Amino acid sequence: MDRYRLKPNDKIKLTEWDPRDTGDFEDGKEKGLQRLQELNLKLEKLQELLYAEHKHRILVVLQGMDTSGKDGVIRQVFEGVNPQGVKVANFKVPTQDELDRDYLWRVHARVPAKGEIVIFNRSHYEDVLVVRVHRLVAEEIWQKRFEQICNFEKMLSEEGVTILKFFLHISKEEQKKRLQSRLDEPDKRWKFNPGDLKERAIWDQYMQAYEDVLNKTSTKEAPWYIVPSDRKWYRNLVVAETLVKTLADLDMKYPEPSEDLTKIVIE
């Protein structure tokens, strides 16, 4: 899945990235779902090993437009993992207490501890996306944040956190279909938020903001992956393949018992 990974200093245009791409899965969805099941089983074992070894820390950042599938990735990629070692952090509109501090304060408090996977459903990048598009702070303030975020992530990496950042790239046409399905299907209407239409109306501004994020903050320590997300099964597959490979490359081992257990007899 390295084809979707942005190298440091890469300069991309999102219009050149196909949100309907399915990579090498020419036979389509059925084989993709079979592969995802295999990856789910591998992830279960690797996550248990991560938790047992209690050495590494994994931070997964999910960003994308409304309906791009952040919740879907969490449900389907992490299906079956032990919730004791996997946590989800949601970053919604800051509280007054959070606004009274620097914008990274609430984020730093949620980073993973040893043995944990923490998933950011939205993240510190809202402070160079939403605040920019809606002009909540001056440009001279949010422009500084690109470098601050890179430094923050570099510090986390040097402290032992492995960072994977996924931009779930969805087309405007596919978003329309998914929003419409929320209106049409009774069991999905609870998801529909009229405010999503206001965000959709400024789609182009968001795409420009995301391009700047991707171009300025994909680093060796914390790379961005542009994940084609019009096809949900392939979106999940890209995230799962990347996560499983990253965990496998850590070459983790179960810890040895602190005492000799060979002579213990359970009667």
pLDDT in tens, 11-20: 999 999 999 9
* pTM for this entry: 0.95
Q: pLDDT at position 111, please?
A: 97
| pLDDT at residue 264 tops 90 | no
What does the radius of gyration of the chain's CA atoms come to, in whole angstroms? 20
Q: Is the pLDDT of residue 37 over 80?
A: yes
β-strand partners of 86: 117
Largest CA distance in the chain: 71
Residue-level pLDDT at 9: 85
Domains in the chain, start-ordered, CATH in brackets? 2-248 (3.40.50.300)
Better-scored residue on pLDDT, 259 or 124: 124
- pLDDT for residue 58: 98
Pick the more confident residue, 267 or 150. 150
DSSP string, the chain: -GGGBPPTT----GGGS-TT--TT-TT-HHHHHHHHHHHHHHHHHHHHHHHHHT--EEEEEEEESTTSSHHHHHHHHSTT--TTSEEEEE--SPPHHHHTS-TTHHHHTTS--TT-EEEEES-GGGGGTHHHHTT-S-HHHHHHHHHHHHHHHHHHHHTTEEEEEEEEE--HHHHHHHHHHHHHSGGGGGG--THHHHHHTTHHHHHHHHHHHHHHH--SSS-EEEEE-SSHHHHHHHHHHHHHHHHHTT---PPPPSS--TT----
